[in-house]
Chains A and B, each alone.
Chain A
Amino acid sequence: MANTPLNQVRFTISNVVDVVKARRRGLVVATEMGLHPAEANKIAVVISELGRNIEQYAGEGVITLTVYDKYVEIIAEDQGPGIPDVARVLAGGYTTSQGMGLGISGSKRLMDEFEIQSVVGKGTTIRALKRLR
């Protein structure tokens, strides 16, 4: 079946070391499934950016990396403060932490699909997908 996960890794994130470990593991998984090194690299960087945001803005959360037959999916979930203006964040250059406002807008560019569901006071779920060519 096309939609059966071939492989799934779950990372709980609550500090920077968790982020560093998750992105390294993500790179290994993506490389092992035969992705081009540059594509595997993008998966790792997206995990890093979303993981950092979880650690920085929500305190804790979970990132799941799932490999399917035709695509790789990254889901980042947290029960943090949520994002009041998702459109602005997606546009890039917007930061509440003296960052570059590059994490989300840049990650979107690295992936084929990218969606944010966020409710202020409840949390944020980001789903990002890369098709395998």
Chain B
Amino acid sequence: MEELDGVGAASTIQKLESLLLVAVPRDLTDRDVLRLRRGVLESVRRYRSRWVLLDFSRVDICDSFFGRFIQSTARMAGLMGSEVIISGLQDAVIETMVELGMTLPNIHAVLDLDDALALSREQEQQDGGMPAPGVEPLESWEDEVVVASPFTNLSEV
């Protein structure tokens, strides 16, 4: 029988700049998923992470349950002021997710860790240099954000 690295396996959560880097194992059972989600929330609080990067490069089967995990993690992290980025989705996984009809609204997706870092740095810089709301007209503020955001929304792929 094949190795099941998710079953009972610990996933690694590391801090990297303003990112919380979560290496999502494949073959997660429901209990693993719950544990992973709680681990993510604890770490977001501990490190005050602005971004959670779910690295999916090891995940080669993504069913509707996994999709719900991504969504619920994003919603929960969002309540701590943290945003979720997913990276490393495999081509085969992407094709299946989209055809299955899984949508991941409000989740940023990037190709790999480098792009995730670039995204978070860019955003940090923008936040730092951003004038206080009200100082600038709203339209120009919005324009700036849209133009400068290389976000890919999975549901639009």
Contacts of A63 on B, CB cut-off 8 Å? none
A106, B100: Cβ atoms under 8 Å? yes
B95, A38: Cβ atoms under 8 Å? yes
Contacts of B112 on A, CB cut-off 8 Å? none
Known A24-B61, A106-B101; judge A40-B27 contact (CB<8 A): no
Contacts of A28 on B, CB cut-off 8 Å? 2
Known A41-B61, A48-B61; judge A20-B4 contact (CB<8 A): yes
B14: Cβ under 8 A from any A Cβ: no
Secondary structure type dominating chain A contacts: helix
Range for the number of chain A residues in contact with chain B: 20 to 34
A16, B68: Cβ atoms under 8 Å? no
Stretch at the interface among A79-87, A96-104, A117-125: A96-104
Contacts of A130 on B, CB cut-off 8 Å? none
A24, B96: Cβ atoms under 8 Å? no
What is the bound-complex CA distance between A109 and B64, given in angstroms? 13
Known A52-B65, A102-B100; judge A38-B2 contact (CB<8 A): no
How near does chain A come to B113, taking the closest CB pair, in angstroms?
A: 22
Contacts of A90 on B, CB cut-off 8 Å? none
What is the bound-complex CA distance between A17 and B30, given in angstroms? 9
Complex: chain B residue closest to A106, CB-CB: B100
Give residues of chain B (91-145) contacting chain A, Cβ–Cβ below 8 Å.
91-93, 95-96, 99-102
How near does chain B come to A55, taking the closest CB pair, in angstroms?
A: 10
Which one of B60, B65, B68, B99 contacts A109 once the chains associate, using CB atoms below 8 Å?
B99
How near does chain A come to B41, taking the closest CB pair, in angstroms?
A: 20
What is the bound-complex CA distance between A25 and B91, given in angstroms? 20
Known A100-B67, A106-B101, A110-B99; judge A16-B2 contact (CB<8 A): no
Between A and B, 10 residue pairs with Cβ closer than 8 Å are: A20-B6, A20-B7, A21-B2, A21-B4, A44-B61, A48-B63, A52-B63, A105-B101, A110-B96, A110-B100
